[in-house]
């Protein structure tokens, strides 16, 4: 999260904020903004427009490596799926202990190898 202290009395979206009040912005909430999305809690990677999406939302903070990341992710996912059959999550998933990043520290999986290791 991102926390700030109000330096003067103001109003934000109809809510009174007094000087000295603390306000927090929670990063994981961006893609769940009900003022921007009809079904904010539904995960949809093809949602358009999606000005909130990381690595490609545009603007001054647009990630310069976004195109490379997309190419790499496509290659990695197709490579993994072609070599691992019956891929599934093996619990537990360990979250990153952070108030700044909503991420995964460890996510064990189990699978059946599609072909022996080292085979072409």
Domain spans of the chain, in order of start: 1-53, 60-120
| Backbone torsions φ then ψ of 17, nearest 5 degrees | -120, 120
pLDDT at 108: 92
Burial of 18 (0-12, 13-18, 19+ CB in 10 A): exposed
Task: Please work out, in degrees rounded to the nearest 5, the angle formed at the alpha carbon of residue 80 by the alpha carbons of 74 and 81.
Answer: 90
Confidence of residue 7 (pLDDT cuts 50, 70, 90): very high
Nearest one of 93, 84, 90 to 111, comparing CA atoms: 84
pLDDT digits (tens, 9 = 90+) for 10-47: 998 899 999 999 988 776 676 777 877 888 888 777 77
Q: Is the pLDDT of residue 117 over 80?
A: no
Tell me whether strands 109-113 and 84-89 are parallel, antiparallel or unpaired: antiparallel
pLDDT digits (tens, 9 = 90+) for 43-81: 777 777 776 555 455 566 667 777 888 899 899 888 888
Distance in angstroms (rounded) separating the CA atoms of residues 22 and 16: 12
Q: What is the mean pLDDT of residues 106-112?
A: 90
Nearest one of 99, 90, 104 to 24, comparing CA atoms: 99
What's the whole-model pTM score? 0.38
């Amino acid at each position: 999260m991102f926390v700030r202290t109000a330096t003067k009395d103001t109003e934000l979206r109809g809510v009174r904020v007094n000087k000295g009040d603390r306000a927090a912005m929670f990063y994981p909430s961006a893609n769940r903004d009900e003022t921007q999305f009809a079904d904010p809690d539904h995960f949809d990677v093809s949602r358009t427009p999606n000005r909130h999406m990381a690595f490609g939302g545009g603007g001054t903070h647009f990630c310069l490596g976004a195109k490379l990341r997309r190419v790499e992710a496509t290659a990695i996912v197709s490579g993994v799926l072609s070599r691992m059959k019956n891929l599934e999550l093996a619990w537990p998933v360990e979250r990153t202990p952070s108030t700044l990043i909503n991420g995964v520290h460890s996510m064990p999986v189990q699978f059946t190898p599609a072909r022996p290791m080292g085979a072409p």
